[in-house]
Amino acid sequence: MIVPNYLMHSDAARHEFDAYRVRRDFPILNQTVHGHPLVYLDNGATSQKPQCVIDAVNDYYCWNNANVHRGVHTLSERATHAYEQAREVVGRFINASHHHEIIFVRGTTEAINLVAQSYARPRLRPGDEILITEMEHHSNIVPWQIVCQQTGARLRVVPINDAGELQLDKYAELLGSRTRLVGVVHLSNSLGTINPVREIIDAAHARGIPVLVDGAQAVPHIPVDVQALGCDFYAFSGHKIYGPTGIGILYGKPDLLEAMEPYQGGGEMIRRVTFEESLYNVVPYKFEAGTPNIAGAIGLGTALEYLAQFGLEAVGEYEDALLARATEAVSDISGLRIIGTAAQKGGILSFVMDGVHPHDIGTILDTEGVAIRAGHHCTMPLMTRYGIPGTARASFAIYNTKEDVDALIRGIEKAREVFDR
């Protein structure tokens, strides 16, 4: 593997976070949209990719492409090595105790479905309960609904308060003798709320209940240490953390992974096959049936190394400053209401405006070159809770600057003007 040269001056970079310099690593940002410089504030949906990630994927296909774990030739050995090295990078990034706790999947969605089908389904009995929260993404709701239908288990939901914070007293009440698993989002994609997952996990563990954390939005913004959290499962997607689409991670505690059924059957996940029976491969391969997304895994490894050079504390602090600037500026705009005002928040500004539908805000901002998301953000029950059809959402990343925030504010003011005229 080629060692990217940024690793050499990583210590220098750590001291001062320089978004203007970071921007140069992202070729896509260097363009205009509708005659304006692109201001990309839809990072919650997917982030852009630095040149080193694009190069890693490209290099893999140019030089090393081969199937993994099954060839004796040089390219296969190289591909396998790069793929497994990426697994080690992921393991270090979230501080897993061993890289065999890292399973490559398609994304957060597949990670949660895997846990629902391989862990929960064989263990659930009618009347058992899965406990999630009111602010979950559909991908942390629907897989549980499916497994509940399959087993007769029930889905229970921890409510939030108006600020968008979990009602922890209600959580304590809902944790019951029939609760078999808790699923909770680490950082809400619609509200920006950072949940006290450590506290949530401790309370569940006190009753012997495992916890799955949906880290799709958390990993790019805050340091995540799965051992310190003590979570049983942690899921995230590559494409939201500067990596490619179609690759994601399920972290699982080794004893749980060992005890689980495979998710899919096929090549790669077996030791020996006869027509009578098959002997499954060891963890994590047991959960990686078929030829995996090798280039995606390599791209993700590169993305995590790229992000790690800045230090996640510095990244989080920088993005918090952008959020603070945006939050303050929008408070002057008449008829604008922020959805999600939790004390602990990261990187996401969701809002609605009197008389201007989020979709119209999105279109008007787009004509100014500002990309945001408008809609329910795959959290329909949460929108119902607030009695709104959706929100406009700006979400920040390492390459956003205060000028981007200012462009956002100008765009929102323009929307106000268009609709007030």
Ligand X SMILES: Cc1ncc(COP(=O)(O)O)c(C=O)c1O
Q: What positions carry a catalytic annotation?
A: 378
Question: Using CB distances below 5 to 8 A depending on partner kind, what does residue 190 bind out of ligand X, other proteins, none?
Answer: none
Q: Which of residues 22-81 bind other proteins (CB under 8 A)?
A: 34-35
Identify the H or E element spanning 227. helix 226-229
Taking CB under 6 A as the rule, does residue 378 contact ligand X?
yes
**Which C-beta is closer to ligand X: that of 189 or that of 293?**
189
Question: Using CB distances below 5 to 8 A depending on partner kind, what does residue 212 bind out of ligand X, other proteins, none?
Answer: none
Q: Which candidate, 341, 335, 332, 336, places its Cα nearest to that of 351?
A: 336
Residue 369 Cβ vs other proteins, minimum distance, rounded to whole Å: 10
Q: Which of residues 172-211 bind ligand X (CB under 6 A)?
A: 185, 189
Q: Which candidate, 39, 45, 47, places its Cα nearest to that of 411?
A: 39
Q: Which of 91, 246, 375, 411 binds other proteins (CB under 8 A)?
A: 375
Q: Is 157 exposed, middle or buried (0-12, 13-18, 19+ CB in 10 A)?
A: middle
Q: Which of 107, 246, 296, 358 binds ligand X (CB under 6 A)?
A: 107
Question: Using CB distances below 5 to 8 A depending on partner kind, what does residue 400 bind out of other proteins, ligand X, none?
Answer: none
Taking CB under 6 A as the rule, does residue 108 contact ligand X?
yes
Q: Which of 92, 357, 385, 410 binds other proteins (CB under 8 A)?
A: 357
| Residue 199 vs residues 171, 172, 195, 204, 232: alpha-carbon distances, Å | 11, 11, 9, 9, 14
Q: What's the gap between Cα 132 and its chain centre?
A: 17
Q: Is 194 exposed, middle or buried (0-12, 13-18, 19+ CB in 10 A)?
A: buried
Residue 178 Cβ vs ligand X, minimum distance, rounded to whole Å: 25
CB-based burial, 113-141: b 16+ in 10 Å, e otherwise: bbbbbbbbbebbeeebbbbbbbbbbebbb
The token pair at 231 is: 């979570």
Residue ranges in contact with ligand X by CB under 6 A: 107-109, 137, 139, 185, 189, 214, 216-217, 237, 378
Residue ranges in contact with other proteins by CB under 8 A: 34-35, 355-360, 363-364, 367, 374-376, 380, 383, 389-390, 418-419, 421
